[in-house]
Amino acid sequence: EIVLTQSPGTLSLSPGERATLSCRASQSVTTNYLAWYQQKPGQRPRLLIYGASSRATGIPDRFSGSGSGTDFTLTISRLEPEDFAVYYCQQYGRSLPWTFGQGTKVEIK
């Protein structure tokens, strides 16, 4: 099983600042099947990025994903008030067990 480790656990930033979230895998993620989600309290996870770097439908271009192999990054170029939430990375594949990172909380400084 691939273990995903996210860092930092909490990121305290102000609106307008840049956020950089890290996700490290215990082994190489097949074909970059790596996704990023945003989750707000009481809501289902919302897909932001799939395939490590492709933005999902309707996701603003201030969100970007990069990386390959075992090291992946989610960048939010300029934080908007609605971006303060918890972010999860996930590795997936058609028939593979999904695994998730433990989450990074982006909070208002």
Partner 1 sequence: EVQLVQSGAEVKKPGATVKISCKVSGYAFSDHYIHWVQQAPGKGLEWVGLVDPEDGERRYAEKFQGRVTMTADMSTQTAHMELSGLRYEDTAVYYCATRVDYWGQGTLVTVSS
Q: Is 103 in the site for partner 1 (CB under 8 A)?
A: yes
Taking the C-alpha atoms of residue 100 and residue 90, their distance in angstroms, rounded to an integer, is: 4
Interface with partner 1, residue 88, by CB under 8 A = yes
Instruction: Name the burial class of residue 95, with classes exposed (0-12), middle (13-18) and buried (19+) by CB atoms within 10 angstroms of its CB.
Output: exposed
State whether the Cα torsion 95-92-58-41 is positive or negative.
positive
Minimum CB distance to partner 1 smaller for 35 or for 79: 35
Residues 28-47 binding partner 1 (CB under 8 A) are: 35, 37, 44-45, 47
Interface ranges with partner 1 (CB under 8 A): 35, 37, 44-45, 47, 50, 56-57, 88, 90, 92, 94-95, 97-103
